[in-house]
């Protein structure tokens, strides 16, 4: 484990890379939202998949055959997400983006906290809870039309037009990523002069391969995460710890680095 002095040195090094970046990309996972009270999926003891089999509650096949299981599982999570507020990590990323260092945020999260914190050009590669699509007539609706009643009663949301089940436009297991969003994410990484991975274990494909594609092109890669990732050996800087503590320090150090140049 690194000492406080070593961590400070690493943060200062990362801040210099950030200060020099003009077209960086941030890749975020569930770990960036856990400080906001939203549970992640894979943490031992507290991860959502410790208590539920994802293929039984959050796969496309399960949704088609037993939508009631999905909605029973997602109901408390949805209430949690709607009550959550951005944490210092979200605000630090927004600050570094507004300073001109990062052009794009690629997130695996569906909570919308990056946007709430002020970030722009957020690519939600695993979809969003903002809309839902009917599984029968394929009409799309704003989810806010149905969420309050669903949270209150637990009844499965139905299409006002045909009565079909409404599926939130989030990516389930066995479902393809939204193509246009994924294409934009790949293009952003290919053009990036820095990639910052924050709060992602880099275990879910195809997002997990984005940092290595950047590294192969020679772009620096910074990883901030509580647990190891497969990219640690390829990254320029690895900071093991709480994103809500490390990223604000990085943003502040990058601000100072710019003021002295």
| Among 6, 10, 32, residue whose Cα is nearest residue 242 | 32
Report the alpha-carbon distance of residue 108 to residue 30 in Å, rounded.
7
- Asked if residue 251 lies in contact with residue 95, where contact means CB atoms within 8 angstroms, the answer is yes
How many Cα neighbours within 13 Å face the side chain of 218? 0
Element of type H or E holding 210: helix 210-216
Which tokens belong to 17? 């890379």
Q: Is 13 a catalytic residue?
A: no
CA angle at 43 for the pair 38 and 48, rounded to the nearest 5°: 55
Of the residues 13, 66, 126, 161, which is catalytic? Answer: 126
Residues marked active site are found at 126
């Amino acid at each position: 484990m690194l000492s406080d002095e070593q961590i400070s040195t690493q943060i200062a090094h990362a801040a210099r890379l950030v200060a020099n970046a003009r077209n960086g990309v941030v890749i975020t996972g569930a770990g960036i939202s856990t400080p906001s009270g939203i549970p992640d999926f894979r943490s031992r003891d507290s991860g959502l998949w410790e208590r539920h089999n994802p293929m039984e509650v959050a796969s496309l096949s399960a949704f088609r055959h037993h939508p009631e299981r999905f909605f029973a599982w997602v109901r408390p999570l949805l209430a949690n997400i709607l009550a959550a507020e951005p944490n210092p990590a979200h605000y630090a990323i927004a600050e570094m983006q507004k300073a001109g260092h990062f052009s794009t945020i690629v997130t695996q999260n569906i909570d919308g906290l990056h946007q709430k914190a002020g970030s722009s050009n957020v690519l939600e590669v695993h979809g969003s809870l903002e809309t839902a699509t009917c599984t029968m007539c394929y009409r799309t609706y704003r989810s806010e039309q149905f969420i309050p009643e669903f949270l209150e009663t637990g009844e499965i949301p139905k299409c006002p037009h045909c009565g079909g089940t409404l599926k939130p436009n989030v990516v389930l297991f066995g479902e393809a990523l939204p193509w246009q969003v994924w294409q934009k994410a790949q293009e952003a990484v290919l053009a990036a002069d820095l990639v910052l991975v924050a709060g992602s274990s880099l275990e879910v494909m195809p997002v997990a391969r984005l940092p290595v594609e950047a590294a192969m092109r020679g772009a620096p890669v910074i990883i901030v995460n509580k647990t190891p990732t497969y990219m640690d050996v390829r990254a320029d800087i690895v900071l093991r710890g709480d994103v809500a503590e490390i990223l604000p320090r990085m943003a502040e150090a990058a601000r100072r680095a710019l003021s002295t140049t």
